[in-house]
Structure 1
Amino acid sequence: MNKSLLLALPLLAAAPILAQSGAPQLPGVVDPSRVAAGTYAVDNHHAQIRWTVNHFGFNDYFGIFGQPTGSLKIDPAKPNDAQVNITIPVAELATSRGDLTKHMMTADFLDAAKYPTATFVSTKVEAKGNKAKITGNLTLLGVTKPVMLDAEFTGAGANPMSKKATIGFHGSTTLKRSDWGMAKYVPLVGDDVKIDISIAFEK
């Protein structure tokens, strides 16, 4: 019997045990029964809001807002009664270039000195299974307009680090930035802005 086969024998013997044990289970599972009714706060260490816009018709570029705050009030028995509000500190923007980030803070775009936050407050939730249409008011640059988010429940459970009950969601929508008065360089820099949200709430 050669040396390689001898070394492999313990692994072969352990294979049935490993197969039975399976992969470690993730703490978060797409299971509504894991959602406890109550008011949850945004876990701003694990929440990102990404925007994507077209540049001169050549390609898309994007940035990410971090450190949002807010809350979710939810009762899994009455999902359409859920309420969500999010505040986004616009200065917490990350892009691939420092000079681009600085330009985004000017009056050409976010005018962060005058309008340091953007807010979303829900007004209606239409839930169906693990998905929902969330209508609400987005206030940006001092202008408030209705928007609708396509939302999806992505997991719930106990966070093994914080020990807190945690719920995750993904949301998306497309905005016309000119509706909020951000019309600089349209149409060379696209008017349509795709928004993707990955967010966790905890209590």
Structure 2
Amino acid sequence: MKKPILALALATSAGLAVTSFSAHGQGQVPGAVDASRVAAGTYALDPAHTLVQWSVSHFGFNDYFGLFGDIEGTMSFDPSDIEASSFDISIPITSVAVPSEGLRDHLLRPGKDGAEPDFFGPDPEAARFVSTSVRRVGDTSAVVTGQLTMNGNTGPVTMLVDFTGAGQNPMNEARTVGFHARATIDRTQWGIDYLAPVVGSEVNLDISAAFELQ
């Protein structure tokens, strides 16, 4: 069984940081919020450093968190024409990581006695987000709208995206651009209505993404 995504991400990040400082002998941060560092072109997601965190209300008591990893996708980006940018992102549902192994099994188990599964089922297709518009709303932020296909249903999603840094990755010398995005969806619109609204219908998405120039 795969290690939990969160533990693997933390271990990988720590190992890379140690290696990077040992190799370069400097503590200079290679990335900065500087648009002049961003080149136009086609970028691919760095799946080792891209995560989607989701949270949902637990019976109205508190928020429960989980993660998706192993995310793939592309971005077409031109800093001189932000609104011409586009995104095509694939999120493998089977990568879901939560603290409770029992909950993870429930998210991915088949329905009982031939019924529909409560959540995704044992062999879910990857979720896919394809942008339809990008609108600049600040010096380093934009609103990205697109269509999310998940669980056999497709619907609109709008997210606020902030530019968080650009520069050359010291590990592989790739020209890298980072973003932080936030969105809220209603899971019932994608056919995931188990225990809604007792377990919250609204799902908050918090996305950290790194793209590498191809």
TM-score, normalised on structure 2? 0.82
Q: 2:186 aligns with which of 170, 173, 176?
A: 176
After TM superposition, the structure 1 stretch with the greater mean CA deviation from structure 2, 103-112 or 170-179, is: 103-112
Q: Deviations over 1:157-200 (max 9, x none)?
A: 00000110000000011110001111110111100100000010
Q: 2:71 aligns with which of 51, 68, 85?
A: 68
Q: Which entry has the higher C-alpha Rg, 1 or 2?
A: 1
Alignment of 1:147 with 2:150, yes or no, is no
AA in 2 matched with 1:197: I
CA distance in 1, matches of 2:58, 2:100: 15
- SS at 1:178 equivalent: helix
- Aligned residue number for residue 83 of structure 1: 86
Matches within 5 A, 1:15-34: 24-34=27-37
Q: 1:100 aligns with which of 99, 103, 122?
A: 103
- Aligned residue number for residue 188 of structure 1: 198
Q: Structure 1 residues 67 and 136, CA, compared in 2 at 3 Å: closer, same or farther?
A: same
- Aligned residue number for residue 199 of structure 1: 209
CA distance in 1, matches of 2:92, 2:69: 8
Q: Structure 1 residues 112 and 155, CA, compared in 2 at 3 Å: closer, same or farther?
A: farther
Q: Quick check: 2:163–2:178 contact (8 Å CA) kept in 1?
A: yes
- Aligned residue number for residue 112 of structure 2: none
Q: 1:59 aligns with which of 40, 58, 62?
A: 62
Runs of 4+ more than 6 Å apart: none
Q: Quick check: 2:125–2:150 contact (8 Å CA) kept in 1?
A: no
Structure richer in strand, relative to its length:
1
TM-score, normalised on structure 1? 0.86
AA in 2 matched with 1:94: A
Q: Quick check: 1:152–1:171 contact (8 Å CA) kept in 2?
A: yes
- Aligned residue number for residue 44 of structure 2: 41
- Aligned residue number for residue 125 of structure 2: 116
TM-aligned CA deviation for residue 111 of structure 1: 2.5
CA distance in 1, matches of 2:40, 2:121: 38
Q: What is the Cα-based RMSD across aligned positions, in Å?
A: 1.1
TM-aligned CA deviation for residue 52 of structure 1: 0.1
- Aligned residue number for residue 8 of structure 2: none
TM-aligned CA deviation for residue 142 of structure 1: 1.0
- Aligned residue number for residue 12 of structure 2: none
Q: Which runs of 5+ in 2 are unaligned?
A: 1-25, 110-116
- Count of aligned positions: 180
Q: 1:165 aligns with which of 169, 172, 175?
A: 175
TM-aligned CA deviation for residue 112 of structure 1: 4.5
CA distance in 2, matches of 1:112, 1:161: 36
Q: Quick check: 1:57–1:188 contact (8 Å CA) kept in 2?
A: yes
